[in-house]
Amino acid sequence: MISKSQEEYLKTMYVLKKQNGYIRVTDIANKMDCTKPSVNKAIRNLQDNNLVDYKAYGKIQLTKEGENRAKKILEAYDIVYLFFKDVLNLDATTANIEAEKVKLSISDSTLNELAKYVHKVLDLNKLDCCYDLNKEKCRVCMKRTSKEKIM
């Protein structure tokens, strides 16, 4: 089990990999507004949990398990954000701030129930992706449906 702060490092690494094609200690430190020694400590902890591969001054690579965990973390944010924004009708800024706070403390089982509820209320049940927190497809489906509602 990793801490919530380690989850944030993992998420940041995943986002940097998607944006830049690579992950560097300097980029993580800049994005998270922290020191390089803090990043190195987090990387060691994540490596101990088999979530990243890293050799000093080498490339930082997410393991398959690390990538899946990072996707799950992002998915958790999306679900909570959609609930606040589209179900409770909070403005986007408030929904973003609150989602960041809540996703750090919500359990997987509660999140799965919230996801089912969000799918039902936003009429996402008609999608044939069979929602599960670990499926990346649902994230795409949710965004696609949100765009369709706007149009």
Residue-wise pLDDT for 46-64, tens only, equals 999 999 999 887 889 999 9
**Cut 0.75: pTM above it:** no
**Element housing 13 (H / E):** helix 4-20
Structure tokens at 51: 């979530």
**Element housing 45 (H / E):** helix 36-48
CATH topology of domain 4-62: Arc Repressor Mutant, subunit A (1.10.10)
Cα separations in angstroms, 50 against 45, 64, 65? 9, 9, 7
| pLDDT reported for residue 118 | 83
Domain boundaries along the sequence of the chain: 4-62, 68-150
Structure tokens at 22: 């690579």
Residue-wise pLDDT for 8-46, tens only, equals 999 999 999 999 999 999 999 999 999 999 999 999 999
| pLDDT reported for residue 32 | 94
